[in-house]
Amino acid sequence: MKSLLDLDFTPFLISFKLALITTIILFFVALPIAWWLSQTKSRVKPFIEAISSMPIVLPPSVLGFYLLVAFSKNSPIGEFLSHFNIELLFSFSGLVVASVIYSFPFMLQPLQSGFESLNKGMIEQSFLANKGVITTLFRVALPNIKPALITALIITFAHTIGEFGVVLMVGGSIPEQTKVASVAIYEMVEIMDYKAAHIYSAIMLLISFSVLLLVYILNRKFKLKAL
């Protein structure tokens, strides 16, 4: 009979580490793009929006397959990276890159719609106050879209924790390196260790519920504060 103490929790730590790094990177990558998309009248806007939303509709295995091909040494990207001794396949760095791509729309879309719903006059007034884009972004725009910002950060984090298909294809299941919680559950079911799979799944369920509850509580708090 397996107890909680006998279980290896390293996959959870790897999942958390991956989600945290991905969320931080994505915040800085998606922020300027979301800002630009919310302000631009450019004709290329729908194309950028369509491309960035692809991970939502694509089966994770399709995205994982393309990333697997792109990261392999036979591909131009893989070959280019090998000159710098960077190996993305079956490595934690590869998982981060894949997660950044996979979770990109979950950070981008809430930020973009937050910026779009913002009173445009506030941004204009900040410019008229002789403030540049960076100051306007961090002192006026972001503080006024707090619910959207929190949703973007938490949903990206939660979505990355729940990743399976892309992670399995790109990272495989190397213990203590690329074996994340969702992959660990899959392997336990495969070897019919349902007891351990139950415990792991219950933990994931609890994490997911807590994260969503946190989003709703914080959003409610900020909405009430804004009234």
Partner 1 sequence: MLKLDIKNQIIDIKLDIKKGEIVAISGDSGAGKTTLLRVISGLEDAKGNIEADGEFWLKNSRSLHPRRRSVGFAMQNFALFENMTILDNLLYVENNLELANRLLESVDLIEFKDRYPKQLSGGQQQRVALCRAVVKRPKILLLDEPLSALHSKMRLKLQKEILKLHKEFNLTTIFVSHNITEIYNMANRVVELKRGRVVGDKLIEKEIYEQPFIYAEIVEKMESYGKYYIILKISDRLVKNSVEKDRFTRYNIGDFIKVEVKV
Give the list of residues 6+ apart from residue 213 with CB closer than 8 angstroms, or none: none
Please say whether the dihedral angle defined by the alpha carbons of residues 190, 196, 197 and 200, taken in this order, is positive or negative: negative
With contacts defined by CB under 8 A, name the span among 69-77, 120-128, 197-205, 213-221 that binds partner 1: 120-128
Residue 124 lies near partner 1 (rule: CB under 8 A): yes
- Does residue 76 touch partner 1 according to CB under 8 A? no
Q: Which of 4, 6, 83, 121 binds partner 1 (CB under 8 A)?
A: 121
Q: Does 126 bind partner 1 (CB under 8 A)?
A: yes
130 binds partner 1 (CB under 8 A): yes
- Span near partner 1 by CB under 8 A; candidates 15-23, 46-54, 138-146, 187-195: 138-146
Which amino acid appears at position 222 of this protein?
F
Nearest CA among 64, 60, 61, 38 for reference residue 49: 38
By rule CB under 8 A, what string of x and - marks binding of each residue 142-181 to partner 1?
Answer: -xx-------------------------------------
Q: How far is CA 203 from CA 162, 182, 198, in A?
A: 12, 11, 9
* 132 contributes a contact to partner 1 by CB under 8 A: yes
d(CA 111, CA 149): 6
* d(C-alpha 62, C-alpha 169), whole Å: 10
Task: Supply the minimum distance, in Å, between the C-beta of residue 129 and partner 1.
Answer: 4
CA–CA gap between residue 66 and residue 225 (Å, rounded): 45
42 is an interface residue for partner 1 by CB under 8 A: no
Closest approach, Cβ 133 to partner 1, in A, equals 10
Provide the 8-state DSSP code for 144: G
Estimate the share of the chain in helix, then strand, then coil, as percent rounded to the nearest 5.
Answer: 80, 0, 20
Residue 150's H or E segment, with its range, is helix 146-161
Number of residues forming the site for partner 1 (CB under 8 A): 19
The correct pick among 69, 129, 205, 214 for binding partner 1 (CB under 8 A) is 129
Per CB under 8 A, residues contacting partner 1 are 119-122, 124-132, 139-140, 143-144, 226-227
